[in-house]
Amino acid sequence: MFEDARGLSVELIRDILNAVHLEDDYSTLYSTIYDLNQNLIYLYFFHNYQEVVVFDLAEEFQKGYHSYVLADLFPEIEDYREWAGPELNRLAEIRASYQEVIIDPGVFDPYLGDYRGPADMDMAFSYYSIGYERGELVLKLKPDKAWLKLTPTSENTLYHASTFDVIEILLLEGENGEANQFTYRDGSGDYTFIRIEDQPAEKAEEPEVENLFGELIEKLDRFTGTYTFKFLSIILILLILQIVISYLRSLLE
């Protein structure tokens, strides 16, 4: 479609997005076109390319921090409601099973900070962090910017429920009475996270080459599970493919 095009346009990119969208279990939820010259974003929802919402970035920036529910920006899309209904109902049932409470945010201040999980936990991220973002208590998965909203059920218990996972957090005090650890529970089991700055320091020794190599492999293994790695991999594959195509064209010419 690019080769047959006489020039770039929003309509061309829209048609290409339409041509490659997915349906059924792994449906394309939304598509975006970024016009960098005009500072406009064209948004299409649930592979419906007949309806579009256009964002003017200059206007959006003037509004300060704000967010939208994508489905509310578009007319009723019956296919989307039918597709999303079972999952939305499942999440509603999970959230209804928890007794949510309103607690003074200051109660959780002693627990704010970075934590590291146990070695036997399959972690795609180097460490987790409890903090506030836009006034909401969240569990941050680092180094990626994945923020999971935490909802209190008591002064030391919180939970997160989303399409991807259901997580329960039990805040604990260490032996010294300080708020420096928590229990992380998901479908695979319970794991204890310790505040990084409170972990006992190891003796200062000259690092062995073998240990450094092992740590490097471990960090690379964790990084391969992040969305950043997946995004960079896609970009690299596309660049290599472009080089190969250009080389083959030069041979044909």
What is the DSSP code string of 1-58?
-TTT-SS--HHHHHHHHHHH---GGG---EEEEEETTTTEEEEEETTEEEEEEEEEHH
The C-alpha angle with vertex 26 and arms to 20 and 30, in degrees rounded to 5, equals 60
Which of 39, 73, 96 is a domain's end point? Answer: 96
77: its two tokens = 């899309």
The C-alpha angle with vertex 59 and arms to 53 and 63, in degrees rounded to 5, equals 105
**Mean local confidence (pLDDT), 84-109:** 91
> Would the pLDDT of 128 be above 60?
yes
If asked whether residues 53 and 92 sit together in one domain, one would say yes
Among 62, 232, 87, residue whose Cα is nearest residue 164: 87
Among 192, 159, 154, 189, residue whose Cα is nearest residue 173: 192
User: Which of 108-112, 165-169, 222-226 shows the lowest mean pLDDT across its residues?
Assistant: 222-226
* Tens digits of residue pLDDT in 186-218: 988 999 999 987 554 444 444 455 566 666 666
**Mean local confidence (pLDDT), 101-113:** 90
The structure tokens 């293994």 sit at 221
Sheet holding 40-45, edge to edge: 30-35, 40-45, 48-56
If asked whether residues 133 and 75 sit together in one domain, one would say no
State the Cα–Cα distance between residues 169 and 154, nearest whole angstrom: 11
* Tens digits of residue pLDDT in 31-43: 999 999 999 999 9
Would residue 235 count as lying in a domain? Answer: no
Which of 157, 173, 198 is a domain's end point? Answer: 198
Which of 96, 128, 154 is a domain's end point? Answer: 96
SS3 label, residue 232: helix
If asked whether residues 64 and 131 sit together in one domain, one would say no
> Would the pLDDT of 63 be above 80?
yes
Q: What pLDDT is attached to residue 209? A: 55
Considering only residues 204 and 77, tell me which one the structure prediction assigns the higher pLDDT. 77
**Mean local confidence (pLDDT), 60-73:** 90
Would residue 144 count as lying in a domain? Answer: yes
Would residue 251 count as lying in a domain? Answer: no
In this structure, which amino acid lies at residue 224? T
Number of domains in the chain: 2
Cis amide prior to 143 (ω within 30 degrees): yes
Domain carrying residue 178: 105-198
